[in-house]
Structures are given as structure tokens and as C-alpha cells.
């Protein structure tokens, strides 16, 4: 066998072996990538389910706590209404008693009688003002605590979203090897056949 023929046949055999190995490697790579993607999809689904439940719990807990403040504010407001009614009723009774006393003592129209009635009215006004101030302070305290609860709920949701985004990124990266190091260049097809044709061409065939 001429030396040129032997060299060409050997080159063709090497090309064929390399082609088959490359084809098998690509097939194995595609299979592994497919398995990785399937596993990642399952993991992503579990992640979304778990974080979705946690998000619902956070929202429910926050709503429940906010509802407690709303109930407390409503109770405080109702208590203030009842207190005002009581003070007004007591003030009216005190004024009636004072007027009756002034009549029996002959003080109606006198400075003493007028001062006595003004004193009763002043006490009623002071009590009503104290109720308004106490209610305002209580509402301010409840409002601040309510805002803190809302802020805590918002922060918990933001942290959960951040964790979910990071986990999704890591799962996606793990499922796609190309995304880590960049997309690889594709080899041109027909390399083996072109090489073999070149080897035969060297033989003059």
C-alpha cells in the first residue's frame, strides 16, 4: 500500500473517531441539561409554592394585627362618646341643683349665684376637654403602633421577595450551564466529511 494511502486512511479514521466522540458528548450533554432543567423546574415550583404560602401567612398575620388596632380605635372612640354623654348628663344635673340652691337661698341674679353656675359649667367643659385630650393621645399611640405593624409586614414581604428572587436566580443558573460561562460557539457541521474528502483528495480520488 502506498505511503500516501496509509496516511490518508489513518487521517480519515482519526476524523471518524473524533466525530463520533464529539457526537456522543453532545448527546450526553443535551441529556444532562434536560435532566437539570427538569429538576430545576420542580425546584422552582416547590419554591413558588412555599414562598406563596409564606407570603399569604405574612399578609394574614399583618391584616389580623391591623384589625386589632382598628377594633381598639373603635372601642376608644365609643368609650369617649359614652364618657362625654355621662359628663354632659352630670353637668346638666349639677347645674339644675345649683340653680335650685340659688333659688332657695335667694341668690338668683346675684354675682354669687352667677359664679356658682359658671363654676358648674366650667367643670363640665374641663371634663369634656380632658376626654378629648385622652382620646387624641390614645388614637395617636394606636396609630403609631399600627404604622409600625404595617411597616413590619411590608418589610417581611420585601425580604421574602428578595430571597425568592435570589433562589430563583440560583436555580436557573444551576439548570443552564451556558448561563454561567456564556454561550459556547457552535461547531460547524460536516467537519468529519470535509476532512475525509480532503484525505481522499490527497489520494487523487
pLDDT, tens digit, for every residue of 47-60?
Answer: 777 888 888 898 99
Written as nine digits, the cell of 64 is: 389580623
DSSP string, 141-187: HHHHHHHHHHHHHHHHHHHHHHHHHHHHHHHHHHH-THHHH-PPPPP
Q: Whole-number mean pLDDT of the chain? A: 75
Written as nine digits, the cell of 102 is: 340659688
- pLDDT above 60 (res 205): no
Which residues lie closer than 8 Å to 200 by C-beta, 6 or more apart? 8, 12
pLDDT of residue 78: 94
pLDDT, tens digit, for every residue of 68-123?
Answer: 988 999 999 999 999 999 999 999 999 998 888 888 888 777 888 888 888 989 99
- pLDDT above 50 (res 190): no
Residue % of the chain over a pLDDT of 90: 32
pLDDT band with cut points at 50, 70 and 90 for residue 37? low
Q: Backbone phi, then psi, for 26, in 5-degree steps?
A: -65, -40
Cα–Cα distance for residue pair 48/165, rounded to 1 Å: 10
Amino acid at each position: 500500500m502506498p505511503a500516501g494511502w496509509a496516511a490518508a486512511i489513518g487521517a480519515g479514521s482519526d476524523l471518524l473517531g473524533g466525530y463520533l466522540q464529539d457526537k456522543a458528548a453532545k448527546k450526553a450533554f443535551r441529556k444532562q441539561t434536560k435532566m437539570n432543567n427538569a429538576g430545576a423546574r420542580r425546584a422552582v415550583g416547590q419554591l413558588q409554592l412555599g414562598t406563596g404560602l409564606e407570603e399569604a401567612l405574612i399578609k394574614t398575620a399583618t391584616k389580623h394585627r391591623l384589625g386589632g388596632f382598628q377594633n381598639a380605635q373603635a372601642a376608644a372612640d365609643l368609650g369617649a362618646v359614652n364618657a362625654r354623654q355621662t359628663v354632659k348628663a352630670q353637668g346638666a344635673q349639677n347645674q339644675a341643683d345649683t340653680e335650685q340652691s340659688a333659688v332657695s337661698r335667694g341668690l338668683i341674679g346675684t354675682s354669687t349665684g352667677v359664679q356658682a353656675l359658671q363654676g358648674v359649667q366650667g367643670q363640665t367643659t374641663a371634663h369634656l376637654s380632658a376626654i378629648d385630650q385622652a382620646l387624641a393621645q390614645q388614637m395617636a399611640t394606636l396609630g403609631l403602633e399600627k404604622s409600625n405593624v404595617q411597616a413590619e409586614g411590608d418589610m417581611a414581604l420585601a425580604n421574602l421577595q428578595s430571597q425568592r428572587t435570589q433562589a430563583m436566580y440560583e436555580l436557573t443558573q444551576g439548570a443552564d450551564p451556558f448561563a454561567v460561562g456564556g454561550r459556547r460557539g457552535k461547531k460547524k457541521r460536516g467537519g468529519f466529511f470535509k476532512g475525509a474528502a480532503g484525505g481522499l483528495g490527497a489520494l487523487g480520488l
